[in-house]
């Protein structure tokens, strides 16, 4: 049974039983504590916790998920994958244990001919929470399952909660027995390789007051409404129903594995390590494709870093299979073809997705080449020092700074006959993870924080009037101080204000929040921020400037008109620049992110090379021509499918509801889905002044622009600067570039003359310095301070010249100078001196220690420095003492 067929049967079964079919949410989670949608329940948390009223009593969905905490297990087990799909049926205060158990068992065991999944009842086991007698009894009496196939497990296995105070409850899991070939008999409590969990039923029935760990929490009492949260792993059911060994061999994944085998010339099933690598590639390529289809782009932070890691692990695995050149063109095409029937967007957006993948592959292959060069140097140095172990900090540097995987470092070091100090590498990695966790913890906004909004959200959605009004009278629904509800807030306090209606725009869609005030009888509040903490609710962070505000009082939201005007100019300007980009570069220049506020916009777009100055000018001219043409700006609310049929552009990675707001500028010239605030005609934007273009990744560029009055001010400032320069240089504006070029050429010529003079002056000092050489131990030693110099290169050249002047004698030249107010030492040794045991690196290190710094280098030439200029005589004396022993 194909994966898509399993999904269809699941959806049809529950839809026929009154469940609303809900489309999958994005892999990019709305939960601020999560990078990704890590479980099927994540999109439903607001309903399960009661923060947002559920729009339906029961639902069914197939939810895309990404989970990378077990990434090292991918390819090694039958069930670990980074991308997976959860089939879920949900009840929000409707049916409970009896309904959930009945539905699950009936769908699993009903024959395929009757629309079921056709599992044999004899192959199924269940687990229940150790004290959940009700569930155990239902499995026996309602389903007829023998008591010996019902196992009771503890909190670690069969109790669910969010990890924060809030809802929780026991769970019951259904397992499939794969047979004696896969392990010991005795049920899931004995062997979780033979007995595979396929369905988890969570009975959300308790309110937890304190949660200290997975197994340590306090139950405050029962939930007012009992909910059902269930999930069946689509990939797990698929590999069982398709009669294959693991999830990597199902129809949606196997084509990538097979293509990797073909490209590498290896046979899947022939060698365990190769099999693991092929599974990693198959999993990671599919996960990367799905992440990019939801708007994630490779980067060094957050979600982008996870995507980059998946892509680079895929490249590494291909390399270990012997494929050192590009392979993503073939692998991603195979994944697209396998996934497009379930997710058509991977085919629709494939040109852009492939561009991202190929750009990252090209960048990392070049990174591997440079990392190999660095590693080669480190290997040579390690061998020269007589060591058989590559330093752990070198391996960490390669991994952390250059993105060079530790597995490749281990492999290549082994080929060179070296081992790696893995203990030191692991310690440095742990330190880095601990720092990252501490940083994430400091920024984390826990789920429990959102529960304070439940009562306000239950009163309905906040009405936003700001599209047509700049002030709106409403009432104060709630006040929060330090995250806790209060009845009043007084002068000097910072608080959150929840209004029934507001004219103030909450930050979203790349547009910064409005500035403004909230006023009422006897109080004035300065608006510091406007956000949507939960879906449908707007919260205003304010400073109480005057008086005292209380819950239930009348309040008027007032938008700062100047700021709103600038914000609408910038947001409409973003649409103009996007349209101009696509007109010049083509449809692949797809917006991947934006930010705009009064007077400023930035726009990220898919592109893999810098824009020429001519291209930037063309884009700027097209955008400003649209402003000049005074195009009409029209906004409409339409069903999503109708909007797309009209050609409205859905921005890559954005999330949209069933009804969307369409913004047209000049009709179809620019037509995008957008909930931001906009001007009425394009002329109101005023002016676009592109001030920057830069890279934000291998496949993404960023343009920045000033808008409106800020754009004019920038031009005015540049005009004033040109005026000052033309006046100072006594030339006309059109001759300014030539005049500056002439001055630069003269300056360079003067610098060359100065350098020649300084070099001559240094050379004239060589004989006198050589004449100071005295026999010290077995060598002739020149140990002198030469005063102040302009650079370390001058001191180095002087030391080498003195060494040459001394000829074939066993000589050591140790010179010091002040460079930039700090002491610098250079040591040069002749071949004969090195044969007698003199080592420039050791001597420079000794001098640097006296100077209060560090140093070292090769045996023939080395340098050191410090901070204590007064210690220069002592440093020179240290060299004399060392060589005179």
Q: Find out whether 360 and 308 touch, Cβ atoms under 8 Å.
A: yes
Looking at the DSSP assignment, which residues form a beta bridge with residue 497?
A: 479, 540
Q: Find out whether 652 and 591 touch, Cβ atoms under 8 Å.
A: yes
Structure tokens at 30: 């709305």
Q: Residue 482 and residue 119: Cα distance in Å, rounded?
A: 53
Nearest C-alpha neighbor of 129 from the set 79, 173, 90: 173
Question: Does the annotation flag 329 for ligand binding?
Answer: no
Backbone angles phi, psi at 380, to 5 degrees: -60, -45
H helices of 586-639, where?
613-628
User: Do you know the residue count of the chain?
Assistant: 885
Burial string for 808-845 (b: 16+ CB within 10 Å, else e) reads eebbbbbbbbbbeeebbbbbbbbebbbeeebbbbbbbb
Q: Residue 444 and residue 27: Cα distance in Å, rounded?
A: 19
Angle at 592 between CA 587 and CA 594, to 5 degrees: 120
Q: Find out whether 294 and 287 touch, Cβ atoms under 8 Å.
A: no
Structure tokens at 693: 């273009």
Q: Find out whether 546 and 524 touch, Cβ atoms under 8 Å.
A: yes
Q: Residue 267 and residue 237: Cα distance in Å, rounded?
A: 26
H helices of 272-418, where?
272-293, 302-320, 328-339, 345-348, 350-384, 392-402, 406-415
Question: Does the annotation flag 19 for ligand binding?
Answer: no
Q: Residue 786 and residue 535: Cα distance in Å, rounded?
A: 72
Q: Find out whether 603 and 578 touch, Cβ atoms under 8 Å.
A: yes
Q: How far apart are the first and last CA of the chain?
A: 85
Angle at 210 between CA 208 and CA 213, to 5 degrees: 100
Q: How many CB atoms lie within 10 A of CB 211?
A: 17
Question: Does the annotation flag 678 for ligand binding?
Answer: yes
Q: Residue 838 and residue 828: Cα distance in Å, rounded?
A: 10
Q: Residue 493 and residue 598: Cα distance in Å, rounded?
A: 27
CA dihedral 616, 621, 626, 627 (to 10 degrees): 100
Dihedral sign from CA coordinates of 564, 565, 568, 569:
negative
Structure tokens at 25: 């949410």
Backbone angles phi, psi at 515, to 5 degrees: -105, 155
Angle at 168 between CA 166 and CA 170, to 5 degrees: 170
Q: Find out whether 613 and 627 touch, Cβ atoms under 8 Å.
A: no
Angle at 50 between CA 13 and CA 639, to 5 degrees: 60
Q: Residue 23 and residue 62: Cα distance in Å, rounded?
A: 7
- Strand extents, DSSP E, 439-483: 463-464, 471-481
Q: Residue 344 and residue 112: Cα distance in Å, rounded?
A: 26
Backbone angles phi, psi at 687, to 5 degrees: -165, 145
Q: Find out whether 604 and 557 touch, Cβ atoms under 8 Å.
A: no
Q: Find out whether 800 and 817 touch, Cβ atoms under 8 Å.
A: no
Q: Find out whether 90 and 55 touch, Cβ atoms under 8 Å.
A: no
CA dihedral 32, 36, 37, 39 (to 10 degrees): -110
Question: Does the annotation flag 352 for ligand binding?
Answer: no
Looking at the DSSP assignment, which residues form a beta bridge with residue 650?
A: none
> Which residues does the annotation place in the binding site for Zn(2+)?
571, 575, 674, 678
> Which residues does the annotation place in the binding site?
571, 575, 674, 678
């Amino acid at each position: 049974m194909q994966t898509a067929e399993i999904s269809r049967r699941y959806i049809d079964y529950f839809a026929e039983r009154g469940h609303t079919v809900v489309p999958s949410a994005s892999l990019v989670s709305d939960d601020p504590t999560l990078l990704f949608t890590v479980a099927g329940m994540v999109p439903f948390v607001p309903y399960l916790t009661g923060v947002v009223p559920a729009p339906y009593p029961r639902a069914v969905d197939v939810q895309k998920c990404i989970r990378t905490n077990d990434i090292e297990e991918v390819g090694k087990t039958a069930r670990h994958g980074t991308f997976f799909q959860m089939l879920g049926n949900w009840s929000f205060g409707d049916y409970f244990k009896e309904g959930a158990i009945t539905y699950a068992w009936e769908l699993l065991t009903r024959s395929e001919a009757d629309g079921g999944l056709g599992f044999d009842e004899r192959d199924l086991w269940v687990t229940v929470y150790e004290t959940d007698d009700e569930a155990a009894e239902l499995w026996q009496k309602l389903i007829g399952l023998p008591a010996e196939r019902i196992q009771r497990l503890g909190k670690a296995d069969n109790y669910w909660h969010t990890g924060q105070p809030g809802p929780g409850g026991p769970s019951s899991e259904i397992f499939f027995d794969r047979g004696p070939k896969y392990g010991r008999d005795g049920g899931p409590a004995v062997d979780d390789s033979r007995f595979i969990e396929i369905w988890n039923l969570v009975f959300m029935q308790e309110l937890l007051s304190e949660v200290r760990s997975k197994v340590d929490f306090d139950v405050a009492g029962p939930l007012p409404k009992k909910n059902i949260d269930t999930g069946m792993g689509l990939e797990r059911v698929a590999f069982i129903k398709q009669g294959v060994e693991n999830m990597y061999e199902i129809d949606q994944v196997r084509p990538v594995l097979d293509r990797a085998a073909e490209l590498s010339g290896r046979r899947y099933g022939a060698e365990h390590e190769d099999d693991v690598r092929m599974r990693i590639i198959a999993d990671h390529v599919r996960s990367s494709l799905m992440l990019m289809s939801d708007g994630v782009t490779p980067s060094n932070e957050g979600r982008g870093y996870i995507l980059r890691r998946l892509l680079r692990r895929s490249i590494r695995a291909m390399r270990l299979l012997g494929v050192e050149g590009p392979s993503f063109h073939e692998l991603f095409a195979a994944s697209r073809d396998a996934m497009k029937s379930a997710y058509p967007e991977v085919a629709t957006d494939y040109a852009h997705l492939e561009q991202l993948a190929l750009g990252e592959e090209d960048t990392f292959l070049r990174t591997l080449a440079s990392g190999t060069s660095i590693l080669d140097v480190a290997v040579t140095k390690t061998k020269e020092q007589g060591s058989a172990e590559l330093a752990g900090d070198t391996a960490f540097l390669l991994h952390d700074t250059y993105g060079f995987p530790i597995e490749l470092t281990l492999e290549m070091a082994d080929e060179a006959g070296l081992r790696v100090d893995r203990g030191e590498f692991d310690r440095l990695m742990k330190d880095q993870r601990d720092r990252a966790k501490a940083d994430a913890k400091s920024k984390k906004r826990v789920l429990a924080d959102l529960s304070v909004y439940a009562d306000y959200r239950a009163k309905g959605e906040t009405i936003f009037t700001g599209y047509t009004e700049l002030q709106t009278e409403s009432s104060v629904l709630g006040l929060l101080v330090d995250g806790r509800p209060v009845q009043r807030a007084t002068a000097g306090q910072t608080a959150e204000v929840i209004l029934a209606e507001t004219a103030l725009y909450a930050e979203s869609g790349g547009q910064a929040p409005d500035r403004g005030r909230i006023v009422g009888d006897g109080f004035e509040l300065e608006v510091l921020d406007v956000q949507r903490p939960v879906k449908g609710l707007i919260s205003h962070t304010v400073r109480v400037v005057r008086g005292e505000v209380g819950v239930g009082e009348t309040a008027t939201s007032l938008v700062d008109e100047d700021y709103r005007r600038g914000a609408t100019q910038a947001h409409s300007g973003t649409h103009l620049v996007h349209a101009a980009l696509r007109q010049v570069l083509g449809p692949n220049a797809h917006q991947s992110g934006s930010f705009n506020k009064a007077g400023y916009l930035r726009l990220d777009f898919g592109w893999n090379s810098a824009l020429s100055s001519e291209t930037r000018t063309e884009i700027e001219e097209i955008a400003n021509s649209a402003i000049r043409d005074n195009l009409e700006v029209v906004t409409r609310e339409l069903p999503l499918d109708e909007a797309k049929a009209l050609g409205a552009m859905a921005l890559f990675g954005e999330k949209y509801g069933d009804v969307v707001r369409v913004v047209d500028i000049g009709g179809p010239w620019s037509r995008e889905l957008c909930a931001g605030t906009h001007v009425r005609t394009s002329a109101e934007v005023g002016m676009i002044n592109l001030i920057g273009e830069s890279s934000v990744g291998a496949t993404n560029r960023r343009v920045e622009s000033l808008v409106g009055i800020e754009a004019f001010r920038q031009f005015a400032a540049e005009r004033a600067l040109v005026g000052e320069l033309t006046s100072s240089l006594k030339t006309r504006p059109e001759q300014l570039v030539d005049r500056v070029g002439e001055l630069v050429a003269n300056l360079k010529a003067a610098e060359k003359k100065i350098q020649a003079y300084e070099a001559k002056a240094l050379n004239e000092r060589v004989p006198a310095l050589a004449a100071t050489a005295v026999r010290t131990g077995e060598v002739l030693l020149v140990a002198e301070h030469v005063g102040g110099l302009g650079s370390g290169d001058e001191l180095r050249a002087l030391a080498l010249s003195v060494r040459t002047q001394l000829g074939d004698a066993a000589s050591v030249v140790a010179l010091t100078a002040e460079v930039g107010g700090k002491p610098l030492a250079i040591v040069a040794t002749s071949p004969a001196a090195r044969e007698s045991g003199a080592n420039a690196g050791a001597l420079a290190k000794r001098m640097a220690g006296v100077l209060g710094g560090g140093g070292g280098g090769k045996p023939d030439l080395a340098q050191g420095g410090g901070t204590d200029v007064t210690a220069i005589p002592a440093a020179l004396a240290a060299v004399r003492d060392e060589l005179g022993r």
